[in-house]
Amino acid sequence: MTQRPAQPIASTPDAVIESEQRVWPGRFPVDIVKFRNRRFDGVMSETRTWELWRRGQASALIPYDPVADVVVLIDQFRLPALAAGIGPVLVELPAGLCEAGENPVVTIQREMLEEMNLAANHIERIGGYLLTSGGADEFCHLYAGRVVAPPADADGIAGYGGEIAENEDIRVRVWPAAKAIEAAFAGEFTNVMTVVALFWLASKREVLRRTWSTP
């Protein structure tokens, strides 16, 4: 994964950027930004200082097989979850950060192949979401994709994947759609994009089973 250039923040009539200072130049840089924004009373604020983690655009997709009525999800160890004091192995969607100027659909097609060796033969946009509005600029484009689920064992495990060069260790698991949706509503998943996608699927599932069952 290459370093992604973070573009300067453009001022607007309601938000004036006074300065940006790069304080950590790593793969995902951190900037100190001084700015003023228009308050709800119409007056511009005093100068404010914010630490901003520059992660950029991302893409994620929920793979759904409408014939088998299953979703294909991944299990992955996440250090930030450990730091947050929760179980560090999360149930997630295939996802990844976009390369500079890359179409998010191209991003998720690449990530699906890398993480689960799976391709979607139809992709539908769900929406776009700012993941950590208080500290990072990461904006995730979320999609649903029609797939043919891979064979799985009695525990739903369909194999393993991940980019070797990035030391990824990913377990691919097939879930009955009803079971995954039930787990999401029960609060069993802590990855927000997984939950949003499953809530969306809960509202669209019967329609998709009719409209997606015939390619």
Rg of the chain over all Cα atoms, to the nearest angstrom: 19
Yes or no: say if 123 and 108 are a contact pair by the CB < 8 Å rule.
yes
Residues 61 and 36 in one domain: no
User: Could you please report the per-residue DSSP string of 114-143?
Assistant: HHHS---SEEEEEEEEES-TTTB--EEEEE
In the residue annotation, 166 being an active-site residue is answered as yes
- Taking only the tens place, the pLDDT of each residue in 160-174 is 999 888 888 999 999
Does residue 160 lie within any of the structural domains? Answer: yes
Question: Encoding tokens for residue 47?
Answer: 């100068």
CATH number, domain containing residue 125 = 3.90.79.10
- Taking only the tens place, the pLDDT of each residue in 63-94 is 999 999 999 999 999 999 999 999 999 999 99
Per-residue pLDDT tens digits of the chain, which is 215 residues long: 556 678 899 999 999 999 999 999 998 999 999 999 999 999 999 999 999 999 999 999 999 999 999 999 999 999 999 999 999 999 999 999 999 999 999 999 999 999 999 999 999 999 999 999 999 999 999 999 999 999 999 999 999 999 888 888 999 999 999 999 999 999 999 999 999 999 999 999 999 999 998 76
Residues 151 and 185 in one domain: yes
Q: Which residues pair with 16 in a beta bridge?
A: 36
Residue with tokens 């769900």: 126
* C-alpha to C-alpha distance for 29 and 207, rounded to whole angstroms: 42
Residues 87 and 42 in one domain: no
Which of 166, 168, 182, 206 is the catalytic position?
A: 166
Does residue 39 lie within any of the structural domains? Answer: yes
Does residue 23 lie within any of the structural domains? Answer: yes
- Per the structure, the complete domain to which residue 43 belongs is given by 15-53
- In this structure, are strands 57-65 and 139-146 parallel, antiparallel, or unpaired? parallel
Residues 181 and 115 in one domain: yes
Does residue 9 lie within any of the structural domains? Answer: no
Question: Encoding tokens for residue 146?
Answer: 């029609």
Residues 152 and 166 in one domain: yes
Report the domain count for the chain: 2
Residues 73 and 146 in one domain: yes
Residues 105 and 166 in one domain: yes
